Structure 1
Amino acid sequence: MSAFNRLVCLLLLACLSPLAQAERLRLVSDDWAPYIYRQYGRPAGIDHEVVSEVFKRLGVEVDWQFLPWKRCLAMVEQGLADGIMDTFHVGERESYLIYASEPLSTVEFVLYQANARPHPVQRLDDLAGLRIGTSPGYTYGNALDDSTRLHREDAPTHEANFGKLMLGRIDLLITDRRAGRYLRQQLGLQDSVRELPLVIERQPQFLGLARKPGREALARAFSEELQRFKLEPAYAALAARYTQAAEDFLDTVEQHDRSTPR
């Protein structure tokens, strides 16, 4: 780190409110594997590890709490939580959220269908009249959010959406590509559920902090340190570990698919 960058970081930290320095931050999220999720009762995931490391370098301690997504947003809006993980930069949330400018990761929303009930979907217009499994409080991009030709059906969890898909209570579900692949494997649905190639939306994910005194400085300090961390071998090793795990999983799925008759 250059002397100038060290000075900038120190000045930003000096601007943090006594509250942020003296107390632990309470960050909320829903289960959003592989980005952040509970594993054996403890938080895990690549974005969890990244945020934990950055705040450790800033001398800020963090408590983690997992809740349904709409409740996470309400907790931050009501001042009952200090921040939220992996949120999109949505204009309506700026009244109560301060976004760290450096993204944590990027998601790709895609569709999943039950192999027993295929739907020929190649573009968004093909979703007209179909029941699409969604999550409460999630935004999937203007094209889908503003559409009046499809029917959104919320489920309390991502797992519940896969269950509804298998029962035929929805026609398709939408979720992030990595999250969908992770859950499909966890639920043992590799032979029953297919990922469609159409990408509905790509969105960067950010750390959002509650609008409280000193949080603008904390968001700037977090972004500066995250940018530095991304240039270090430690970040590359972390990303490689999760990438390798995903590639190993996909290789297993592809080998299984090749051995399964069509």
Structure 2
Amino acid sequence: MKTLFLTLGLSLAPLSAPLAETLHFVTEEYAPFNHTKNGKITGIAVDQVKAIAKATGIEYTLDIMPWARAFAMAENQPMHCVFTAGYNRARAGRFAWVSPLLEDRMVLLKRKGERYDELTIVKARELKVGSQRGDFAVEALELIGFKDIDLATDIDITVRKLLTGRIDLMPTSIKTYERMVKDGLPVEKAMLLAGQIYGIACHKDTPPALIKRLQAELDRLIKSGEQDRIFTAYGLPSGTRTAENDVKK
């Protein structure tokens, strides 16, 4: 009988071992969702990731870096996940997904007071648009015909370029735009873009059982109202309702 138990233990060990590995979460400086404050990584998405990782009982790390690097790590290195990542058809099969950390609309921003009368996608393509290297917004803009997009390493650089006139427009989520206005940045909506779901994109070989556990905890976080409370704590509306009430159609 002892031999049988030993044999069963050895045969089951490889199945459970991957779940004992450390999962590495990587993200970028993109307030209020993920950013560094007083030497600590915090934000709306960070709080959710920490909560569901803790609930699953897994070992994990959390690092912040330029988006292009974080995205490449999640795509190429096992047991790595990047957030807050926009989900689309092109990315669907490249990662194992846990979502939604938020659902939002995207918007093109302009400098406050700058006039682009009756702006359309066709007219916007004639202006200088900037974003962050590897950001979902770049892919979204390219799909609707934008070319020669000015790329920066992070959103703070893109914002500075917009405010100093080096670019005319920048894409971001409505929730990020609302935070910018609260922070006193002189930016305005130029035009509304499509809606988007954002989540955690993990290396495609991440154990399915681990992805399932993380998704179950995120579902529980949303159902309990905790996700809404996290958004409220940062002064923003609910994470899984499209914020468009103040958008001019």
* TM-score of the alignment, normalized to the shorter chain, above 0.5: yes
Kindly, what percent of the aligned residue pairs are identical? 22
2:245 corresponds to 1:246 = no
Question: C-alpha offsets along residues 84-111 of structure 1, whole Å, 9 cap, x if unaligned?
Answer: 11212244445541112x4111132112
Question: C-alpha offsets along residues 221-248 of structure 1, whole Å, 9 cap, x if unaligned?
Answer: 2112221222225444334323xx237x
Q: Tell me the SS of whatever aligns to 1:53.
A: helix
Matches of 2:139 and 2:151, distance apart in 1: 17
Question: C-alpha offsets along residues 126-176 of structure 1, whole Å, 9 cap, x if unaligned?
Answer: 213111111111233876323446541112221111211122211111111
Conserved in 1, the CA contact under 8 Å of 2:33 and 2:44? yes
Conserved in 2, the CA contact under 8 Å of 1:139 and 1:145? no
Question: C-alpha offsets along residues 178-219 of structure 1, whole Å, 9 cap, x if unaligned?
Answer: 223324554x42xx32223x22121111111112352x1111
2:168 corresponds to 1:180 = no
State how 1:49-64 maps to structure 2 within 5 Å: 49-64=47-62
Letter in 2 for 1:24: T
Partner residue, 1:47: 45
Question: Closer, same or farther in 2 for the Cα pair 1:160/1:235, shift >3 Å?
Answer: closer
Partner residue, 1:34: 32
Partner residue, 2:213: 221
Partner residue, 1:199: 192
2:123 corresponds to 1:133 = no
Partner residue, 1:166: 163
Instruction: Report how far residue 15 of structure 1 moved.
Output: 9.9
Question: Closer, same or farther in 2 for the Cα pair 1:77/1:202, shift >3 Å?
Answer: same
Question: C-alpha offsets along residues 46-77 of structure 1, whole Å, 9 cap, x if unaligned?
Answer: 22112211121111132111111111111122
Conserved in 1, the CA contact under 8 Å of 2:96 and 2:206? no
Q: Runs in 1 of length 4+ with deviation above 6 angstroms?
A: none
Q: Tell me the SS of whatever aligns to 2:83.
A: strand
Letter in 2 for 1:181: E
Question: Closer, same or farther in 2 for the Cα pair 1:142/1:210, shift >3 Å?
Answer: closer
Q: What is the aligned length? A: 225
Matches of 1:59 and 1:103, distance apart in 2: 20
Question: Closer, same or farther in 2 for the Cα pair 1:153/1:232, shift >3 Å?
Answer: same
Conserved in 2, the CA contact under 8 Å of 1:89 and 1:205? yes
Letter in 2 for 1:179: T
Question: Closer, same or farther in 2 for the Cα pair 1:33/1:15, shift >3 Å?
Answer: farther
Instruction: Report how far residue 41 of structure 1 moved.
Output: 1.4
Conserved in 2, the CA contact under 8 Å of 1:141 and 1:201? no
Q: Tell me the SS of whatever aligns to 2:87.
A: coil
Letter in 2 for 1:222: L
Matches of 1:230 and 1:46, distance apart in 2: 13
- TM score, norm. by length of structure 1: 0.75
Question: Closer, same or farther in 2 for the Cα pair 1:106/1:234, shift >3 Å?
Answer: closer
Conserved in 2, the CA contact under 8 Å of 1:103 and 1:205? yes
- TM score, norm. by length of structure 2: 0.78
Question: Closer, same or farther in 2 for the Cα pair 1:15/1:233, shift >3 Å?
Answer: farther
Conserved in 1, the CA contact under 8 Å of 2:129 and 2:149? yes
**Structure 1, 114-123 or 60-69: larger mean CA deviation:** 114-123
Conserved in 1, the CA contact under 8 Å of 2:85 and 2:200? yes
Conserved in 2, the CA contact under 8 Å of 1:15 and 1:217? no
Cα RMSD (Å): 2.7
In structure 2, runs of 5+ residues without a counterpart are: 1-12, 238-249
